Structure 1
Amino acid sequence: MLEQLAELPEQRATVGAIIPAYNEAETIGGVLDSLLMQTRLPDVIHVVINNTSDDSVEIAGHYAGPHTRMTPSGEQHTVIYVHDIGKNPDKKVGALNYGYSLVEHMDYLLGVDGDTTPEPDAIEHLVDEITSDDRIGGISAIYSIDDSALDGPIAKFLIAGQRAQFAAFNMQNLLKGRNMAVLGGQFSIFSTQALRQVLEDSHQRTPWVNDSEVEDSLLSLQIKSAGYLTKISARARAHVGGMTTMRSLDAQQVKWNFGAIDLMWPGQRGDTRGQPFHPNLRLRWFEHMSMVINIITRLGFVLLLLGSLSISAFVFQAWWVIPPLAAVLLNWKVARSMEFVNRRDYFFAMLLWPAELYMWIRMGHFVRAWLKFFSRQQTDNWAAQAKAERGKGIAWTYPFLTLALGLVVGAAVWLQLPVALRSDVLAVGWPILGVVTVLQTAWMFVKILKNQRGYKA
């Protein structure tokens, strides 16, 4: 009897892939090719095209129908369906929920962005990991920004910065027990049982809601609150599209920061309730506090340096070299942690100024997001990002213009002060900055010496 049971075929978990696509004509073919090359095919692939004005439907339509692939584990089959849902006010959220309605009867939902190409074994790793523990509600792949086919120095610089930013974020989550704060929509697998529990607990009709700027972060919080684990994969990897212009990067980062603040800040705003003490938001708080310290040290140094030069009181101290050196070593470690590191990543880390310039850009995004939140502006950040990706909008220049204006006004006021008063201000400011910088540098050395336990970002 036991021998007969052992001979029975093992029940294979069913996986439905959902690809929400908005003007993805340039990338959708590559995404579908990468899914069809997987060592573990999804049982079905639904391409949900919404609000598109390009040839996404026609290109995806060439892939519609059944597909068969011979893999090391045997012959596998999948079917691709292409759905053009036309104008959809809920945009990506609406497309995801439409896709969920098509695969909710399956064991797992695989969310794939229309510009994300996974490694050939990505789905196999995700399925193996999520089926190994019923407590897991969702797993995110390890993301790397695609740096192929880049034109111009600005695009290469911005992509290098985003690659370092993603690598640092990935490693933080990997080292925290692989607990993932955000199951990113780029390439994540969800237990449909966990999603059904979210619907019941949150009194929602659909898993994703359109009243949050970061629908994936909110859903991750809800999955965690429903008693499930949210994880980052140890091995599944996917390459996502990056932002190649200052305008589009600003819109994306402001949207992400604004959405995170909306979830972090206490109180009720519309249908979204702030959850400042949620376990998934601890890393967010840490990131925002770190950014505040970065702003204090960098802006403080610039102001104190200019103030000292104005009264010919600047004296270089050799120990000032230590913080930049620590930053280079930390950037180098981040680059070394990348699975697909390249020469440009190493140059970005070693030259210091590219990473420093990128940090100033991120500081602008951070400040703009917080000001936007406290101003209570009723703006559609999704629409703002889409507009920026079309090359429109000047909001990305606001932080730089504000900084320049602030320096000019500050200099005018500063030069009117008596020299003795300026000297007193500098005498207080430099020691305070020194203490903060010492603590920040010590923390950098802690991260430099931290064991990465063999993980690769």
Structure 2
Amino acid sequence: MFDIPGVKNSYMHPRIVAFIPAHNEEKSIFDCLAGIGDQVLPKGVELDVIVIADNCSDRTEEVAIEAGKEFNLNLVVLKTKNNKQRKVGALNQAWKNIYGDNLDIYFRELTPFQELYKQSIKAILGMDADSRLAPNALTQLWDGLMSSRNIGGVMAKYTMRMPKKKSLISKNDINYEEKLASGDYGGPLARWWTHQQKQDMASWLLDLQYNGGSTYVLGGQATLFRPEALQDIVDDNKLDGPWQDESDVEDMLLTWQLQKSKWKTLISPKARCFVDSMKSYHTFRQQRNKWQSGTVNLLTSSDIGVKTRHKGKLWRSQAKSFMDLTVRLLFVMLLTVSLATDQFFWSWIWIIPIGLASILNTILALKTPMHRPIDVVFAALLISPEIYLWANLITFLQVWIDRLSSSKKDGWANQYNAENGKTSSKLIHGIITMMLFITLIVFLCIHYREFLTSEPVQLALHPYLMTGWITLTYLTIFASILMVYQIWTLRAKHTA
């Protein structure tokens, strides 16, 4: 147990304690703590901040201490020891320093001061070191958590920070390379990619709010927990800390454990937290691979022994991704064969799903916080949504192939290596391979056109083409109904 500066030994006000795990976050921890320093606390409530410097080899600890002094925070830095569980281990070490270590072979009774301090903690804020709370967010999270006795955690609404234009940096600036590496600036592609993630997040947040505000994941970027709820996880599952490393999505597993213990897990309708996006295709793919893989493992694993009340929603999301992939692959295959055999016929009814998709994505773009006119235009033309969807479908397909083949990957390590430039993307190789494949198909179709358009071949393929187009029609009708329903729900005045 450590002493918090400014805490008296006799009487303690109710307090919030922030857990901020940080592994080599010297570039972002100052901004994170600046956001905490901006907060107006609930009346009569105090705030303590614990930065957990996890195996850091940079100035994370020093920068955190400097920020604590500048923003007048009651802050301590806790350094991990022999932590092999990354973020999970860092969070649990902070927890055990307050609530005790069940794995300690020596029984250590809490002193009166330590017991008093533990009892004074009414909420624990879990935050990532590269996140920043919007002003008043902490009070809004507090109000949500304290609105009902059975609420175990309330999550802020996340919005990706848009990088500034790279053109704003003078190339004569001696810090040009350093500013680019900071991630605060980006080119048109990075800014476009950030908006797609921001719109995707907005769509998810709106869906949660339209369905009552209950969430199946309390994101680690900024969530306020009730300590009693976290203690229930420890007691019910015989753990030494609330967070577990059995899944790549530790925040989702924690949320399911809370729901198992009959606690509500909600999203705040007002509190906002700004988070960093993945500014390249490679880092995005590794992050989404970790998220998707962790979700699929939780849904399909019988060893973890915990389920969520949102299980049906998650399976429907997986089914929708499978349908989206099937529709696109089936369309490409049918279109190719139909054109090659001169049996393609256009029908204007196909404009309906395209029009619905355009309307839906335009509404989502307009509801996305701080959107740009160009983002709305690209959404209406379906350029951005389709590219982004394909990126997610590739991840979806890879994750399920790995799952069915029992291939286990370290999602945390892959994402960390991607963000630090230790691995590179195979996107260019994939694009070149696809272009060569398309070129080969076109060449073969032209070269054998006389044979492919002959009557025997057309008659032989016609039944299969008809079956394929009919199947695709039914799938498209079903997808259109889903889009109509989503457009209908978007009429509500919820904000992302």
The TM-score normalised by the length of structure 1 is 0.88
Separation in 2 of the partners of 1:94 and 1:404? 45
Q: Alpha carbons of 1:377 and 1:274: their partners in 2 closer, same or farther (altered >3 Å)?
A: farther
Aligned position for 1:307: 337
CA contact (8 A) 1:247 1:391 kept: no
- Structure 1 residue matching 2:247: 3-state secondary structure: coil
Aligned position for 1:321: 351
What is the alpha-carbon root mean square deviation over aligned residues? Answer: 2.6
Q: Alpha carbons of 1:411 and 1:223: their partners in 2 closer, same or farther (altered >3 Å)?
A: farther
Aligned position for 1:181: 216
Following TM superposition, by how much is the alpha carbon of 1:146 offset from its aligned partner in structure 2, in angstroms? 0.9
Indicate yes or no: 2:52 matched with 1:31: no
CA contact (8 A) 1:49 1:86 kept: no
Q: Alpha carbons of 1:242 and 1:437: their partners in 2 closer, same or farther (altered >3 Å)?
A: same
The percent identity for this pair of structures is: 28
Moved more, 324-333 or 127-136: 324-333
- Structure 2 residue matching 1:232: 3-state secondary structure: strand
Following TM superposition, by how much is the alpha carbon of 1:15 offset from its aligned partner in structure 2, in angstroms? 0.6
Aligned length: 433
Aligned position for 1:158: 193
Q: Alpha carbons of 1:107 and 1:400: their partners in 2 closer, same or farther (altered >3 Å)?
A: farther
Aligned position for 2:414: 384
Q: Alpha carbons of 1:33 and 1:107: their partners in 2 closer, same or farther (altered >3 Å)?
A: same
Following TM superposition, by how much is the alpha carbon of 1:287 offset from its aligned partner in structure 2, in angstroms? 1.4
Aligned position for 2:168: none
Separation in 1 of the partners of 2:259 and 2:434? 40
Separation in 1 of the partners of 2:81 and 2:444? 56
Q: Which amino acid aligns with 1:14?
A: R
- Greater Rg, structure 1 or structure 2? 2
**Residue 191 of structure 1 is aligned with which of 209, 221, 226?**
226
Aligned position for 2:155: 140
CA contact (8 A) 1:173 1:181 kept: no
Separation in 1 of the partners of 2:301 and 2:441? 34
Q: Which amino acid aligns with 1:307?
A: V
Aligned position for 2:252: 217
**Residue 281 of structure 1 is aligned with which of 311, 317, 325?**
311
Structure 1 residue runs of 5 or longer lacking an equivalent are 1-10, 69-77
Separation in 1 of the partners of 2:285 and 2:325? 17
Following TM superposition, by how much is the alpha carbon of 1:420 offset from its aligned partner in structure 2, in angstroms? 2.9
Following TM superposition, by how much is the alpha carbon of 1:202 offset from its aligned partner in structure 2, in angstroms? 1.4
Q: Alpha carbons of 1:66 and 1:34: their partners in 2 closer, same or farther (altered >3 Å)?
A: closer
Q: Which amino acid aligns with 1:428?
A: T
Indicate yes or no: 2:127 matched with 1:88: no
Moved more, 280-289 or 25-34: 280-289
Separation in 2 of the partners of 1:399 and 1:422? 30
Q: Alpha carbons of 1:339 and 1:85: their partners in 2 closer, same or farther (altered >3 Å)?
A: same
TM-superposition CA deviations, 1:211-232 (whole Å, max 9, x none): 1110000000000010110000
Q: Which amino acid aligns with 2:74?
A: V
Following TM superposition, by how much is the alpha carbon of 1:185 offset from its aligned partner in structure 2, in angstroms? 0.1
Moved more, 335-344 or 398-407: 398-407
Aligned position for 1:6: none
Q: Which amino acid aligns with 1:93?
A: V
CA contact (8 A) 2:257 2:306 kept: no
Structure 2 residue runs of 5 or longer lacking an equivalent are 1-11, 100-117, 165-184
Moved more, 396-405 or 165-174: 396-405
Following TM superposition, by how much is the alpha carbon of 1:86 offset from its aligned partner in structure 2, in angstroms? 6.1
Q: Alpha carbons of 1:247 and 1:194: their partners in 2 closer, same or farther (altered >3 Å)?
A: same
Following TM superposition, by how much is the alpha carbon of 1:338 offset from its aligned partner in structure 2, in angstroms? 2.7
The TM-score normalised by the length of structure 2 is 0.81
Following TM superposition, by how much is the alpha carbon of 1:408 offset from its aligned partner in structure 2, in angstroms? 8.4
Following TM superposition, by how much is the alpha carbon of 1:371 offset from its aligned partner in structure 2, in angstroms? 1.3
Q: Alpha carbons of 1:300 and 1:370: their partners in 2 closer, same or farther (altered >3 Å)?
A: same
Aligned position for 2:465: 426
CA contact (8 A) 1:64 1:82 kept: no
Q: Alpha carbons of 1:125 and 1:367: their partners in 2 closer, same or farther (altered >3 Å)?
A: same
- Structure 2 residue matching 1:234: 3-state secondary structure: strand
- Structure 1 residue matching 2:239: 3-state secondary structure: coil
TM-superposition CA deviations, 1:195-219 (whole Å, max 9, x none): 1111111121110111111000000
CA contact (8 A) 2:160 2:274 kept: yes
- Structure 2 residue matching 1:97: 3-state secondary structure: helix
- Structure 2 residue matching 1:107: 3-state secondary structure: strand
TM-superposition CA deviations, 1:245-279 (whole Å, max 9, x none): 111111100110010011111522xxx3463xx31
Separation in 2 of the partners of 1:411 and 1:372? 32
- Structure 1 residue matching 2:186: 3-state secondary structure: coil
Aligned position for 2:65: 61
